[in-house]
Chain A
Amino acid sequence: GNSVTQMEGPVTLSEEAFLTINCTYTATGYPSLFWYVQYPGEGLQLLLKATKADDKGSNKGFEATYRKETTSFHLEKGSVQVSDSAVYFCALSDSSGAGSYQLTFGKGTKLSVIP
């Protein structure tokens, strides 16, 4: 079956530091890949996505590149801010038939950015 593995953290960084959150996946087909962010007490927000190999998703200074050869989708940001403190989830999407796709999530990585 499909699975997603991401570094569990927590990760604590100083403001303006470089961020990398590793994510690797196992899938039988060619899934789309996602990063979602969850701020404290809230639901999940789509951060970025990539639908095929070598695609780069980007949003709000965050980037991730779909690497088929290493089955990875690592999240990066060059300079984090305190407002980036949240839990980040890597996910893959695969067809479950009948016009529906299912998301398989990693366990999430909690990021804390200190001033």
Chain B
Amino acid sequence: SQTIHQWPATLVQPVGSPLSLECTVEGTSNPNLYWYRQAAGRGLQLLFYSVGIGQISSEVPQNLSASRPQDRQFILSSKKLLLSDSGFYLCAWSLQGGETQYFGPGTRLLVL
């Protein structure tokens, strides 16, 4: 069966510091991968998605970036965090050509 991991689970970072969140998927090959952000009291915002290694599509212009160095690894990064980057970050995967997305446990980021 497929599983999706995210780490760290919780992160507290000062404004201006860098960020690296990691997501890995097990039990499937060549998945589509997604990064979402859920701000407090708000819905989910799609940040990036990837249909293959090195292929990243950005949905929202911001100071975040994403990379996919391996087939089942998706990384969300920032060079300098802003207060507004605080939120709950969710990674998801789907089969190629599949509509259903499956979510990881999330990373809670607090920028102070």
Interface residues of A (CB under 8 A from B): 32, 34, 36, 41-46, 49, 51, 89, 93, 96, 98-103, 105-108
Contacts and interface: CB of A to CB of B under 8 A. Distances in A.
Contacts of B94: 100-101
Contacts of B92: 44
A51 to B, nearest CB: 8
Given A43-B103, A107-B43, A100 B51 contact: yes
Nearest to A45: B103
Interface string B91-110: 01010111111111110100
B49 interface: yes
Interface string B75-103: 00000000000000010101011111111
B43 A101 contact: no
Contacts of A93: 99-100
Contacts of A108: 43
A45 B4 CA distance: 12
A49 B44 contact: no
Interface in B58-90: 90
A63 to B, nearest CB: 18
A3 to B, nearest CB: 11
Given A44-B90, A98-B51, A103 B46 contact: yes
B99 to A, nearest CB: 4
Nearest to B94: A101
A46 B108 CA distance: 20
Contacts of B106: 42-43
Given A34-B100, A44-B90, A99-B96, A107 B42 contact: yes
B24 interface: no
A115 B32 CA distance: 41
A34 B99 CA distance: 10
A18 B6 CA distance: 36
Contact of B100 (A49, A89, A100, A107): A49
B100 to A, nearest CB: 6
Most chain A CB inside 10 Å of its own CB: which residue of B42, B92, B100, B102: B100
A70 to B, nearest CB: 22
